[in-house]
Structure 1
Amino acid sequence: MTTSAILFYLLLVIIIVTLYSCAVTIQQGTIGVITVFGKYRRIMLPGLNFKVPFVEQLYTRISIQNRSVELEFQAVTIDQANVYFKAMLLYSVLDQQEETIKNVAFKFLDDRNLMQALIRTIEGSIRAFVATKKQADVLILRKDIVEHVKEQIDQILEGWGYHLQDLQLNDITFDEVIMKSMSQVVASNNLKAAAENEGQALLITKTKAAEAEGNAIKIAAEAERQASQLRGQGVALFREEVAKGMTVAAKEMSQANMDTSVILFTMWTESIKHFAENSQGNVIFLDGSAENMERTMKEMMSLNMLHQTQEKK
C-alpha cells in the first residue's frame, strides 16, 4: 500500500469521526446543554442536533420528566411529642426555558447534592410548622402542612430551576405511649357517645310510653264522660216519659172523675214490688205508715204539678 493510499484512508477516518462527533441525539424528555471551553453556549432540544466538533461539548443531559423520592424523618411538636413522617415527594424541572435549564445544569455539582438540599429543605419546613402545633392537632393538619411546605419552598425551588409537583404525607405516627393514649381517648369518646345515644333512646322510649299512657287516660276519660252524659240523658228521657205518662193518666182520671192520688199509690206499690224482685240480700227499710205514704204522695203530686206548670209555659 502506497503512502498516498494510507493518507487517503487516514483522512477518510478523520472525516467520519468528525461527522460522527458533530451529530448529537437528544432523547425525548431530555434537554442537552452545550458548553464551549467550559462556558455555557446553548441548549439542544429532543431529536437530532449538530455541534461544532472539538469546540462545542455536550456538558450534560437534563431530564425534564417528573421525579419522585420517599422521605422518612422526625419532628417535635410544641408540647414535646415526637412525630414520625413518611412522605413521597414529586418534583420536576420548572420549564424548558433556557434560563431554567442553566440553573438546573450549574446550580449543583451533581444530582446527589441537589437531592440532599431538596430533602433537607422540605424536612426543615415541615419541622418548623409542626413545632408550632400541639400533638393532638397534627393528624388533622395534613393538608395544612402540605400547603405550608409548598408556600415556603416554591420560591427556593424556582431559583434552582425546579417545581414541587406534589407532597404526600403517607404516614404520620407517634411514640407507642402516645398512640396508646390516643386510642384510649378515642375508645372513651366512643363509649361516651354510645352512652349518650342509649340515654337518648331510653328517654324517647319513656317519653313515647308516657304519651301513650296519657292518651289512653284521655281516651278513657272522654269515653267515661260520654257514657255518663248518655246515662244522664237516658235517665232524663226516662223521667220525662214517666212524667208525660203520669200527666196523660191524670188527665184521663180527672175526666172520669177519679182521684188522681191512685196513680201515686200505684207507683208506690210498684216501687216496693221492684225492690222485692231485684234485691240481692240487701235490706231496705221503708216507712209504710199512713203519714209517710201521705207525705210521699204529696211530694210526688207537687212534682207532677210543677212539671205540668212548666209544660204550660
Structure 2
Amino acid sequence: MPFLLILLVLAATVVFLSVVIVQQGTVAVVTIFGKYARIMTPGLNFKIPFVEFIYRRVSIQNQSVELAFQAITSDQANVNFKAMLVYSVLNQEEETVKNVAFKFIDQGSFMQALIRTIEGSIRSFVATKRQAEILGLRGEIIEHVKAQIDTLLESWGYHLIDLQLNDIAFDEIIMRSMAQVVASSNLKAAAENEGQALLITKTKAAEAEGNAIQISAEAEKSASQLRGQGVALFREEVAKGMAESAKVMTEAKLDASLILFSIWTEAIKHFAENGKGNVIFLDGSTEGMDKTMKQLLAVEKMGGIATDKPAQ
C-alpha cells in the first residue's frame, strides 16, 4: 500500500512536470541538455521531464520603449530628443524565434543594443544638419533611422514598426534666442502688414479724393456752362426786347431815350433794394444813354439780318 502511494505521487509529479501551458501571444523555446530542440505554441503542451527544459518564452506581441538622448548638430548646437520605439518579433517561424532566443544573452542586452543603434543612427543624421533645419526634419529623421536599422533588426529576428519623435528641444539659451528670432520676425511681418494696410488706405483715400475733385470740377464746369448760356440767353432776350421797344417808339416818332430812362430808374431801384454796397456808380448822362440806344439799335439790325437770311 505505501509503495502504491509512492508510485501515485511519482506519477503525479511526472505529469505535473510534463505539462507546459504557453500563454497567448508568446512561444516557448525548448532545449534538450542546453541544445535547441523545438518551440511550443500557445496552449497546452507537454515536455519530457528532466530532459527538456523551457529556455525562454518569447513574446510575439508589439512592444514599446521610450528613449531620451542628446545629439549635436553641425553648428555645435545640442539637441535633446525624446522618442518612442514600437517593435515586434518579425514572425513566428522557427528560424526567427531561434534568432530572438539565442542572438542575445538576455532581453536587457538586446534592448541596450537596440537603443544604442537607434541613438547612433539619429546622431549621425543630426551631425550633418544645422540647428535651424532640425525642427523641420522630423519625418526625414524617422525615415533615415528606419532605412538604417531595418535590415539589422531583421537579422536579430525583429521588425521596427514605428518610431515617434515626441519632443525635439534645444538648450535653454538656444530656445530663448529662437523665440527672440520668431518674435522679431512676427513683429517685422506685423509692421509690414500694417504698412501695407496704411499704404492701401492712403492710396484709396487719395483716389477717392481725386475722383471727388474730378466729379466736382466736371459738375462746376457744366454748371458754369449752363450759367453762361443762361446769362447769354437773358442778355439776348433783353437786347431784343429793348431793340423792339426802341423800334416801335421810333416808328411812333417818340423819343427812344425814355426807354433808357425807364431802365436806368429800374436799375437804381433794384440796386437800392438788393445791393449790399454803400456807393453805386451809374452813367446817367445823355451821352451815355444815347450811346446805349445806338448799341441796342445795332443789335436789332443784326438780329433782323439773321432773321431774313433763311427766308431768301
Contact 1:247 1:308 in 2 (8 A): no
* Matched residue, 1:242: 238
Is 2:103 the counterpart of 1:107?
Answer: yes
- List gaps (5 residues or longer) in structure 2: none
* Matched residue, 2:72: 76
Shift of 1:31: 1.0
Change (3 A) 1:265 1:303: farther
* Matched residue, 2:121: 125
Is 2:33 the counterpart of 1:37?
Answer: yes
1:153 equivalent among 138, 145, 149:
149
Shift of 1:107: 0.9
Per-residue CA distance 1:130-150 (angstroms, 9 max, x = gap):
000001111221222112111
* Matched residue, 2:208: 212
Per-residue CA distance 1:159-210 (angstroms, 9 max, x = gap):
1111222222222222232222212212211221222222223223322332
Q: Secondary structure at the match of 2:180?
A: helix
* Matched residue, 1:93: 89
Q: Which amino acid aligns with 2:137?
A: L
- With structure 1 as the length reference, what TM-score do the two structures score? 0.86
- With structure 2 as the length reference, what TM-score do the two structures score? 0.86
Change (3 A) 1:134 1:169: same
Moved more, 268-277 or 122-131: 268-277
Q: Secondary structure at the match of 1:202?
A: helix
Task: Name the CA distance, whole Å, in 1 between partners of 2:90 and 2:240.
Answer: 115
Give me the identity figure in percent. Answer: 68
Q: Secondary structure at the match of 1:91?
A: strand
Q: Which amino acid aligns with 2:99?
A: N
Shift of 1:39: 2.6
Per-residue CA distance 1:211-243 (angstroms, 9 max, x = gap):
332233233323322322332232233234335
Shift of 1:247: 6.2
Contact 1:264 1:301 in 2 (8 A): no
Aligned residues: 309
Moved more, 113-122 or 190-199: 190-199
- List gaps (5 residues or longer) in structure 1: none
